[in-house]
Amino acid sequence: MRKANQGISELRKQLAAVLAGKDAAIEQVLTALIAGGHLLIEDVPGVGKTTLAHALAASLDTDFGRIQFTADLLPADIVGVEIFDLADKRFVFHPGAVFHHIVLADEINRATPKAQSALLEAMAEGQVTIERETRPLPEPFFVIATQNPHEHLGTFPLPESQLDRFFMRISLGYPDKDAERKLLLGEVGHRRLSSLRPIASWQDILAARTELEQLTVADVLMDYVLALLEQSRNGEWLQMGISPRAGSDLMQAARAHAWLAGQDYVTAADVQAVWLPCLAHRVVAAGDSEAALTALLESQAVPA
């Protein structure tokens, strides 16, 4: 068994005990976590977005910060502010909620674009600049953001630059009948959060990230991915194709998916599994982006 497998396996089980019937979503959360990217969960209110974030934070031996995004939220509420200390006669920095290893940006699209932009530097570079001084954020740094669908009242769509900072975008959906029965009986859901204990550490996550780089990526698979990236930019499928950064994230996500499956190499199936969660929010199509990406993926021959 790989060094990090035991901790990740226990983490998966504990998350599944809180969110019954959401194995696919839990797999995607773990994919983003061990790949080193940030996660956006988009869905209607009440399906467990915030519960999932809290369950992950409670299951890892780490510190956790939550930012409730509202229309009156200010950038200083997120990154922090310098306040003059009369006793010491100097400015003292008071860190904002972003100075944690795991940050939940709850209902991120309910805040104004100005407040949303306060996360840009933090997510892209792992630092914030306040009063011309740059301060590093804790390492590792992982943002889980939730947002309601755009048609809901009081929401501000995330700009393309902000969306591109998210490694993956996923949704949870409604539970099936068996999972909802457990929820109604109180066997799963937010009621279980108080009983959770840390069962994995950042050492497990960092060990997994190291092992990702050791997975074999065959030349024929790399050619397959490069062909997909090239086709996305020829204007036939998309109005704005897959960027080099998004392509790099796609390969990292495929590595993480293969690692979670216990494989020593990356396959086309791993690329296909992360294709939409990694890319649908980063491209522009004349119609539905997911439909266009699916058609593009189906047009490319899978390597033997």
Report the pLDDT value the prediction gives residue 161, as an integer from 0 to 100: 82
Q: What is d(CA 217, CA 248) in angstroms, rounded to the nearest whole number?
A: 13
The total of other beta-carbon atoms located within 10 Å of residue 294's CB is 16
Write b or e for each residue in 7-35: b if 16 or more Cβ atoms lie within 10 A of its Cβ, otherwise e: bbeebbebbbbbbbbbeebbbbbbbbbbb
Determine the pLDDT at residue 222.
97
Could you tell me the pTM of the whole model? 0.90
- Please name the fold of domain 5-207: Rossmann fold (3.40.50)
Closest C-alpha to 198, from 56, 26, 61, 4 = 61
CATH 2.40.110.10 fits 215-299, yes or no: no
CB-based contact 258:215 (threshold 8 Å): yes
Domain with CATH 1.10.8.80 in the chain: 215-299
- Predicted pLDDT of residue 1: 41
| pLDDT digits (tens), the chain, 304 positions | 455 678 899 999 999 989 888 999 999 999 999 999 999 999 888 888 889 989 999 999 888 999 999 989 988 899 998 888 888 888 888 898 899 999 999 999 888 888 888 888 899 889 998 878 899 999 899 999 998 876 565 678 888 888 899 999 999 989 899 989 988 988 888 888 888 899 999 999 999 999 999 999 999 999 999 999 999 999 889 999 999 999 999 999 999 999 999 999 999 999 999 999 999 999 999 889 999 999 999 999 998 7
